Amino acid sequence: MAKNRILVVEDEESLLRLETILFTSKGYEVTGARDGHSALEEATGNPPDLVVLDVMLPGLDGFEVCRALKNDPRTSAIPVVMLTAKKSGMDLERGKKAGADAYITKPFKSVKVLEVIEGLLQQGDKGGEE
């Protein structure tokens, strides 16, 4: 079975490295993007199995990126996990409205992030069956 590929969108270099190490240590193939425009180019050009998306990004923010991914037929089925320091109820609601499949706030627990990712990828492996 091929490795699941995760696109990590994070503008802070140290967090991008940390998330990359975390996911590759669990057997995922990881691609990184540092801004919203690069994330959309990567997702449409080489669609990942899942996107881990920061909200505060240069250019397009994570809400805009998520909305664009969910509105594009090529990427609409890709699960999006928002991983952000934005914790307010209003931010959470914006994430849901943008189409995020999960919303996790920083600082995050690695175990929780991995559980959410594994759960979403397993749902996708079932071919959309509930």
Beta partners for 9? 33, 53
Entry pTM: 0.93
**Closest by CA position to 58, among listed 87, 78, 80, 38:** 38
pLDDT digits (tens, 9 = 90+) for 39-95: 999 999 999 999 999 999 998 999 999 999 999 999 999 999 999 988 899 999 999
Under a CB-based contact definition with an 8 Å cutoff, are residues 62 and 38 in contact?
Answer: no
Under a CB-based contact definition with an 8 Å cutoff, are residues 33 and 42 in contact?
Answer: yes
- What the chain holds in terms of domains, given with CATH numbers, is 5-125 (3.40.50.2300)
Under a CB-based contact definition with an 8 Å cutoff, are residues 75 and 69 in contact?
Answer: yes
E strands, 1-130, are 5-9, 29-33, 50-53, 80-84, 102-105
Under a CB-based contact definition with an 8 Å cutoff, are residues 52 and 19 in contact?
Answer: yes
pLDDT digits (tens, 9 = 90+) for 89-112: 999 999 999 999 999 998 889 999
Instruction: Say which residue the tokens 């809400």 belong to.
Output: 63
Query: In this structure, what token pair is assigned to residue 85?
Result: 């320091």
